[in-house]
Chain A
Amino acid sequence: MTASRAWRVRPRLRPRELGLLIVVAATLFCGWVSLASTEAGELALGEPVVLLVYLGLLALLHFSFVLAGRRMDEVLLPAVGLLGGLSLLLMARLPQGLVVQSFAGRELGLGPLQLLWLSVALVLLGTLAIVVRSDGWLRYYKYSWAAAGVALLLMVFVLGEETNGARLSVSLGPLTGQPSELLKIILVVFLAGYLADNRPLLARTSTNLGPIALPPVPYLLPMVAMWGIALSIVIVQRDLGAALLFFSVFLSLLYIATQRVSFVILGVLLFLAGGAVLYNLFDHVQDRVDIWLDPFADAQDTGFQLVRALYAFGRGGILGTGLGAGLPSVGNNLAIPLLHTDFAFASLAEELGLLGGLAILALYLVIAQRGLRIAASAADDFRGLLAAGLTLVIVIQAAIIIGGNAKLVPLTGITLPFVSYGGSSLIANAIIVGLLLALSDQGVEPPPPRRASRRERASDRARQIGGRIEEALS
């Protein structure tokens, strides 16, 4: 890779992205007018500055991509842009005092703060998409990344502060962040590296446990370690959602790498076993499951949020109440606690109806399709696994929280990617999409495979012989 090749700039038009972004802008503009008109009681524009800043940022990103001249995916940015725009519409109409932070002496409410975070996230997304030209820094340092991840986890265990019964956030000076958002990226980087290296070994049967074929025992260790990490997140961090997400992504990647259904079944069984033990040992797990099974049993207290969310779904119906006409505008109190984070989807589904809810689902599926396409056409296993893992993080996370809102799975406190309020979540997901865009550029050649050392080759040969002997015996 020469420097001149890496940084050669030849503008390349992105007509598909431009077209889609124009549709996104028109949609968001309609939404904005609808919202402002509902609030004013007549046709109104409100204060379109917020929206214009956001649309301007999307345009800036598009033209930067054009100038950068890379052959990147042209659908991801509009999809993410629309989700972020919906988030902005939602945050702008919620009570602004929900979250207040001061920046440079100015008090910012919910809407402006979300715009700020969205801007930071989009700039980061664009920068990564343009700048990342090599995956070596991810590929060759997987154990360093793993160490960083464990350090991050430990930091949460030690320094974490409790919010809503979960120990998620860590404060560093004036900034508060949720490290588990970054942790999920690190996890995928490590897993992609580990699985790409050990794929052939993992895919080979060596131990049989009844009908289940297991890989060689040493290679089971990461699986058990992941399981342990997921459980410890549940126990110490009380974050069921993150645990579920980590473990689902891990199993999916393991399956992609090994194509062994038995691993998935084993993993699910392990998860269920762990879940059953946790259910019996920990009140917060038990509460979550009980609420899920019958939220109406204690509709005034523990089941409150979920019952309110279901009312919101019901009120939305097929067409929705219209932006700005949903529950929060009736009465002085928020109808659903944590509307801006955990229940962002329920809130949007109320105002946009079933059709809007399905459209949001479709947007995540678009991201899934683009991401998995990038993975399937990747030049090598590491990049394929990395792209698939990053995509799955977003898509599965969305499914977990949407399912939680709609009482399909136990409710957990994770965010809806690009929609929920929160800097950590927006930034982490922006990093993911930025990396996906960079990976989608087929122009970047993968580094040459490392030659295996003589020792590795010898042991590999020995294993092959061992395998043959086993086959002959059985």
Chain B
Amino acid sequence: MRGQGGAPRIGGSIMRVALALLVMYAGLAGGLTYWQVVQAQELTEAPGNPLTLAASRTEPRGRILDSRGTVLARNIEGEDGLPRREYSFLATTPIIGYKSVRFGATGLESTYDAEMVGLGRSSPAERLLRKFRSDPYDPQDLVLSIDARLQGRAFDLLGGDRGAVVAIEPATGRVLAMVSAPTFNANLIVDPARAEAAFAQLNEDPPEASRLLNRATQGRYTPGSVFKIVTAIAAVGSGAVDADTVYEEQPAAEEDGLRVEGFRIRDGHHTFTGNEALNFVEATEVSCNIYFALAGLATGEDDLFEWSRRLGFGSRIPFELPTAPSFVSGGTQAEDGFDDSVELASAAYGQGETFVTPLQMALVAQAVANDGQLMKPKLVDELRAESGSVRTLSPESLSRVTSASQAALIQEAMQAAVEGEFGEDFAGAAKVPGVPTAGKSGTAELGGEGEPHSWFIGFAPVEEPQIAVAVIVERAGFGRERAVPLAGQLMETYLDLAE
């Protein structure tokens, strides 16, 4: 059918334009659905959401409780008549952070901001019901896995030294205690009258104090010998090392060092083991640098990275607080591989360009204790709404690191490192009286002047472990001087409390 002048009539093309419009509007509808259904929750809970900010000024805010119901943080009425936070313990500051109208939020106060204000997840039916109420908020209390008594004990044990302690329940990844010292008084930050002075004071502190830093998740340290457990996991996991593996060149090298590409790796601690080549458990017991250097070389760069990646190295550990990634090589910037075998061998016994967070090392202990299964660390067990509804946050697995039998071999080696004839000298102080205890001490040489970092990771009891710990005390000397006894007392405290 032809219209004027021989051109086709326009009806057909109008139809096609109408179809194009329909497609365009279907796209718009899809976009709206994406934001209003798929992304709705995430957007509502975003910390920058003005609604959350506005609500935090005037609306009630949920409390933070420890695993036994002890109040760690709650709202009080300030002198200005506005609600303000009050924190019960100094020791929990690195976990809880603060919530200030003026300075924003940190720690769990930031992570669970929306939930505590009452804008967080609730069932669709509840949300519908709340639409008919004038007050749209349903503040939720956080119930943590932290035990305030253990937390306080860990803080006291550090006794004013710089350092961090992380304790995890191996089977679930629940964090039982997480301490970073020195810390700061969050009650000053949330008080409008005193916040300025408090921040000024924090700025005057010497830089190494860094009170605002949560060392447990963001402090990165040279690991020293505790990293041998990572090497052990990679070596045993990849099959490069088993219970009977010995290195014939090891005893001779004890005398004048192991040559790797002309570089000499020395071992000062255990010439007393004599001329017999050590097996894996014995080498772990005496923390043999040369054995682990050779084991690292046998494992190879690829497998060392693969198993450390399974443990969480190389990326941020998923957690409810900000975490810094730990790196096997390349320092604090990024994993960049090893330039030569010297670097690989040095890293294998913990003196390479390796930097780890205490949380990462606690997870290494957790994975070994939990038969090779790495759990996602978690701080919040439950969200309890004012309206009575409870949301439980279940444990989650992160990765299968080794098989259970491989983990058992490493457990045996770590038990020897605490309880064995020679091991006792290094880490015997970590033993919980009457309880089989496993662990590994570490002494991180930092070069230059000053004492090394004192390290320990471990768990107890060896069978059905209840607690896995990582302890670092900065510049406090050998592992056995500071971190080892601290860990022992901490684990003992926890097992006593659990009874």
Which residues in chain B, 163-196, are within 8 Å of chain A measured between CB atoms?
none
A368 near B51 with CB under 8 A, answer no
Q: Is A20 an interface residue (CB 8 A)?
A: no
Name the contact of A311 in the complex, choosing from B18, B22, B32, B49 (C-beta under 8 A).
Answer: B49
Q: Is A330 an interface residue (CB 8 A)?
A: yes
Knowing that A199-B3, A299-B48, A314-B42 are A-B contacts, what are 5 other residue pairs whose CB atoms are under 8 Å apart, sorted by A's residue number? A313-B39, A325-B131, A327-B50, A354-B32, A381-B3
B7 near A203 with CB under 8 A, answer yes
Of the listed stretches A76-84, A164-172, A254-262, name the one at the interface; the rest are far from the partner chain: A254-262
Q: Is B10 an interface residue (CB 8 A)?
A: yes
Interface majority SS on B: helix, strand, loop or mixed? helix
Q: Which residues of A contact B54 (CB under 8 A)?
A: 330-331
B18 near A368 with CB under 8 A, answer yes
Q: Is B498 an interface residue (CB 8 A)?
A: no
Min CB distance, B381 to chain A, in Å? 27
Q: Which residues of A contact B103 (CB under 8 A)?
A: none
User: CB-CB contacts of B1-29 with A at 8 A, as 1s and 0s?
Assistant: 00111111011111111101110110111
Q: Is A322 an interface residue (CB 8 A)?
A: yes
Name the contact of A358 in the complex, choosing from B8, B32, B55 (C-beta under 8 A).
Answer: B32
21 A-B contacts, Cβ less than 8 Å apart? A199-B5, A200-B4, A255-B16, A256-B14, A259-B8, A311-B51, A313-B35, A313-B39, A314-B42, A316-B36, A330-B51, A331-B57, A349-B32, A349-B36, A353-B36, A354-B33, A361-B28, A368-B21, A376-B15, A384-B11, A408-B31
Q: Is A315 an interface residue (CB 8 A)?
A: yes
Min CB distance, A197 to chain B, in Å? 9
A interface list, Cβ under 8 A from B: 38, 41, 196, 199-200, 203, 252, 255-259, 299-300, 307-308, 310-311, 313-319, 321-322, 325, 327, 330-331, 335, 349, 353-354, 357-358, 361, 364-365, 368-369, 372, 375-376, 380-381, 384-385, 388, 392, 395-396, 399, 402-403, 406-408, 449
Q: Which residues of A contact B5 (CB under 8 A)?
A: 199-200
Name the contact of B36 in the complex, choosing from A203, A313, A369, A396 (C-beta under 8 A).
Answer: A313
Smallest CB gap from B124: residue in A = A318
Q: Which residues of B contact A259 (CB under 8 A)?
A: 8, 12-13
A407–B30 CA distance with the chains assembled, in angstroms = 12
A361 near B25 with CB under 8 A, answer yes
B25 near A364 with CB under 8 A, answer yes
Name the contact of A399 in the complex, choosing from B24, B43, B48, B50 (C-beta under 8 A).
Answer: B24
Q: Is B128 an interface residue (CB 8 A)?
A: yes
A357 near B32 with CB under 8 A, answer yes
Name the contact of A313 in the complex, choosing from B15, B20, B29, B43 (C-beta under 8 A).
Answer: B43
B36 near A354 with CB under 8 A, answer yes
B21 near A395 with CB under 8 A, answer yes
A314 near B7 with CB under 8 A, answer no
Smallest CB gap from A37: residue in B = B134
A376–B33 CA distance with the chains assembled, in angstroms = 32
A136–B4 CA distance with the chains assembled, in angstroms = 18
Q: Is B41 an interface residue (CB 8 A)?
A: yes
B4 near A380 with CB under 8 A, answer yes
A335 near B14 with CB under 8 A, answer no
Min CB distance, B56 to chain A, in Å? 11
User: What range describes how many residues of B lie at the interface?
Assistant: 35 or more
A375 near B14 with CB under 8 A, answer yes
Q: Is B136 an interface residue (CB 8 A)?
A: yes
A335 near B24 with CB under 8 A, answer no
Name the contact of A314 in the complex, choosing from B4, B6, B44, B128 (C-beta under 8 A).
Answer: B44
B interface list, Cβ under 8 A from A: 3-8, 10-18, 20-22, 24-25, 27-29, 31-33, 35-37, 39-44, 46, 48-51, 54-55, 57, 127-128, 131, 134, 136
Min CB distance, B127 to chain A, in Å? 7
Min CB distance, A387 to chain B, in Å? 9
Q: Which residues of A contact B11 (CB under 8 A)?
A: 376, 384
Min CB distance, A307 to chain B, in Å? 7
A317 near B37 with CB under 8 A, answer yes
A407–B35 CA distance with the chains assembled, in angstroms = 9
A313 near B32 with CB under 8 A, answer yes
A406 near B4 with CB under 8 A, answer no
Q: Which residues of B contact A385 (CB under 8 A)?
A: 10
Q: Which residues of B contact A316 (CB under 8 A)?
A: 36, 40
Min CB distance, B141 to chain A, in Å? 23
Name the contact of A384 in the complex, choosing from B14, B16, B31 (C-beta under 8 A).
Answer: B14
A263–B167 CA distance with the chains assembled, in angstroms = 69
A310–B45 CA distance with the chains assembled, in angstroms = 12
B21 near A408 with CB under 8 A, answer no
Q: Which residues of A contact B12 (CB under 8 A)?
A: 259
Q: Which residues of A contact B7 (CB under 8 A)?
A: 199-200, 203, 257-258
Smallest CB gap from A314: residue in B = B43
Min CB distance, A268 to chain B, in Å? 12
A300–B127 CA distance with the chains assembled, in angstroms = 29
A354–B5 CA distance with the chains assembled, in angstroms = 48
Contact A257-B10, Cβ < 8 Å, known A252-B17, A330-B54, A392-B17:
yes
Q: Which residues of A contact B51 (CB under 8 A)?
A: 311, 315, 327, 330, 335
Min CB distance, B255 to chain A, in Å? 60
A354–B12 CA distance with the chains assembled, in angstroms = 33
Q: Which residues of B contact A449 (CB under 8 A)?
A: 4
B36 near A321 with CB under 8 A, answer no
B131 near A408 with CB under 8 A, answer no
Q: Which residues of B contact A399 (CB under 8 A)?
A: 21, 24-25, 28
Q: Which residues of B contact A358 (CB under 8 A)?
A: 29, 32
Smallest CB gap from A353: residue in B = B36
Contact A311-B43, Cβ < 8 Å, known A330-B54, A361-B28:
yes
A314 near B13 with CB under 8 A, answer no
Name the contact of B50 in the complex, choosing from A319, A335, A384 (C-beta under 8 A).
Answer: A335
Q: Which residues of B contact A317 (CB under 8 A)?
A: 36-37, 40, 127
Smallest CB gap from B132: residue in A = A322
Contact A311-B25, Cβ < 8 Å, known A257-B10, A408-B31:
no
Q: Which residues of A contact B21 (CB under 8 A)?
A: 365, 368, 392, 395-396, 399
A259–B10 CA distance with the chains assembled, in angstroms = 8
A376–B339 CA distance with the chains assembled, in angstroms = 73
A380–B5 CA distance with the chains assembled, in angstroms = 12
A357–B42 CA distance with the chains assembled, in angstroms = 20
B31 near A406 with CB under 8 A, answer yes
Smallest CB gap from B53: residue in A = A331
Smallest CB gap from A38: residue in B = B134
A250–B471 CA distance with the chains assembled, in angstroms = 71
A330 near B4 with CB under 8 A, answer no
B13 near A255 with CB under 8 A, answer yes
Q: Which residues of A contact B37 (CB under 8 A)?
A: 317-318, 354
A318 near B50 with CB under 8 A, answer no
Q: Which residues of A contact B15 (CB under 8 A)?
A: 376
Smallest CB gap from B2: residue in A = A200
Q: Which residues of B contact A368 (CB under 8 A)?
A: 18, 21
Min CB distance, B67 to chain A, in Å? 32
A216–B432 CA distance with the chains assembled, in angstroms = 94
Min CB distance, B114 to chain A, in Å? 11
A376 near B14 with CB under 8 A, answer yes
Min CB distance, B105 to chain A, in Å? 16
Smallest CB gap from A316: residue in B = B36
Q: Which residues of A contact B18 (CB under 8 A)?
A: 368-369, 372
Contact A315-B25, Cβ < 8 Å, known A200-B6, A330-B51, A330-B55:
no
Contact A256-B10, Cβ < 8 Å, known A321-B136, A327-B51, A388-B17:
yes
A141–B128 CA distance with the chains assembled, in angstroms = 58
